[in-house]
Amino acid sequence: MAWLVYALHALFWAPFMVRGQLDKQAGLQQTGPAAHRNSAATALVWLHTAALGVTYVGIGWGLFNAAVWDWPLAARLLGVPIILATTWMIIRVMMVFRSWRLRAELTAEHQLCTEGPFRLIRHPIYTALVLLSIGSFFLVPNALTALGIVTNFLAGDLRARAEERLLIEAFGERYRTYMARTKRWIPGVF
C-alpha cells in the first residue's frame, strides 16, 4: 500500500512543480511589487504547511508503524479515485490560472481567473488540498490523517477569506459578482 500512497501523492504534487518550472523558463514568475498584500499571508502559508504536515505525519505513522484502523481494503481504496480526481482538478487549475502564487499577494499584472474549475468554486486549490487529505485518510485511516482533514480545511478557509478580501480590493464589483455566482468550496452548497 505504501508505494500506492507515494505514487498518488507524487502525481498530485507534480502539476505544481511542472507549472513552476514552465513559468520559470518562460520568465513568467510574478516578481514585481505586490499591489495588494495581506499582512498575514506568510503566516497563513506556514499554517497551511503545518496542516498538511499533520496529514503527512499521519501517513508516515500509519505506513511505518502499521497504525491504521482495521478497514476493508475496498473502503481504503476509495482514496485512489478521490486523489486521482483531485489531481485532474489541479491539472485543470494549472492550465488556466495564470496568476498563481503561493502567498496572498497580487501584483499589478494579476488576472482574475474564472475559467476551468474556477467556474464552479472560488478556491479549487484549497479544495484540492482538503480532498487530498480525505483521500489520504481513506488510504491510511488513523486519527492523524482524520485530523489532517480538519486542519487543512481550517487553514484553507482562513487563506481563502484573506485572499477574497484582497480580490475585492483589487477587482471590486467584478469579484463581488463572481462571488455571488460561485461558492467557496462546494459547487452550489458552500
Kindly report, residue by residue over 65-114, the tens digit of the pLDDT. 989 999 999 999 999 999 999 999 999 999 999 877 777 778 778 889 99
pLDDT at 7 (0 to 100) = 97
* Surface-to-core class of residue 188, CB atoms within 10 Å of its CB (0-12 exposed, 13-18 middle, 19+ buried): exposed
Average pLDDT, rounded, for the chain: 92
| pTM of the predicted protein model | 0.93
Q: How far is CA 37 from CA 33, 42, 165, in A?
A: 9, 10, 10
Cα separation, 9 vs 21, whole angstroms: 19
How far, in whole angstroms, is CA 126 from its chain's centroid? 3
Is the pLDDT reported for residue 126 higher than 70?
Answer: yes
Cα separation, 56 vs 19, whole angstroms: 23
Q: Across-strand partners of 79?
A: none
Beta strands in the chain (DSSP E): 34-37, 105-107
- What is the third-level CATH fold of 38-102+109-181? Four Helix Bundle (Hemerythrin (Met), subunit A) (1.20.120)
